[in-house]
Amino acid sequence: MNWKTISRRFSSRSWTLALVVALACLGIVAAQDTASVVKVTPTTLRLRERRVATLALQLQVREGYHINSNRPKLDYLIATQFTLDPQPGFTLVGLKWPTATDKKFAFSGDPLSVFQGTVPLGVELKAGPHTVGSHVLHGKLRYQACSEELCRPPVTMPVDLHVEVVHG
């Protein structure tokens, strides 16, 4: 091997490595950007033992983005979902989703069912017997954020719910 061949081979490897590092960095930035599209603000719920109450979550979708509703109009769209990890003594009774907005986008022939801006979500919980005290329940919010130009990869973010149970 002569010096020119070594130089070309080294340059080729260097460029390949630089490209791999750049793409990895872009992937990390895109993932961080996607996760920051929706912010979740829970309130602390105070409920009576053996009763049902609704904890208010507020989802804030960044301006310029939307997320599909919990009931998208097309089968291939990813619905926004909230799930609660099993916790002894607590039951997820239901979710109170707001009414979605039907919005027409340039990339779709028909209006889509979406959430934008502030999205209030009610999480109905039942506290069982012997649950008096402070608890942190762990849930997950899954969504796919889209702009007018593109859709980001789906995100599943952890959501902690603070619950204070008092005697019934």
| DSSP letters spanning 115-165 | E-SEEEEEEEEEE-TT--EEEEEEEEEEE-EE-SS-BPPPEEEEEEEEEEE
- Residue 29: per-residue pLDDT: 41
* Number of Cα atoms under 13 Å in the Cβ half of residue 111: 7
Task: Match domain 38-166 to its CATH number in 2.60.40.1250, 3.30.420.40, 2.40.50.150, 3.30.70.2700.
Answer: 2.60.40.1250
DSSP percent split of the chain into helix, strand, coil, nearest 5: 20, 45, 35
- Residue 11: per-residue pLDDT: 54
Share of the chain above pLDDT 90, in %: 68
Which residues make Cβ contacts (< 8 Å) with residue 136, sequence separation at least 6?
A: 160, 161, 162, 163
Query: Which of 11-36 are b and which e, b meaning 16 or more Cβ less than 10 Å from the residue's Cβ?
Result: eeeeeeeeeeeeeeeeeeeeeeebee
Domain ranges of the chain: 1-35, 38-166
- Which position has the higher pLDDT, 91 or 2? 91
State pLDDT tens for residues 58-74. Answer: 999 999 999 999 999 98
Spatial distance between the Cα atoms of 47 and 50, rounded to a whole number of angstroms: 9
Strand partners, 135: 163
Report field, pTM of the whole predicted structure over 0.75: yes
Q: What is the DSSP letter of 74?
A: S
| DSSP letters spanning 90-117 | EEEEEEEPPPPEEE--TT-SS-EEEE-S
Q: What are phi and psi of 145, to 5 degrees?
A: -90, 135
Q: With bands split at pLDDT 50, 70 and 90, how would you rate the model's confidence at 149? A: confident
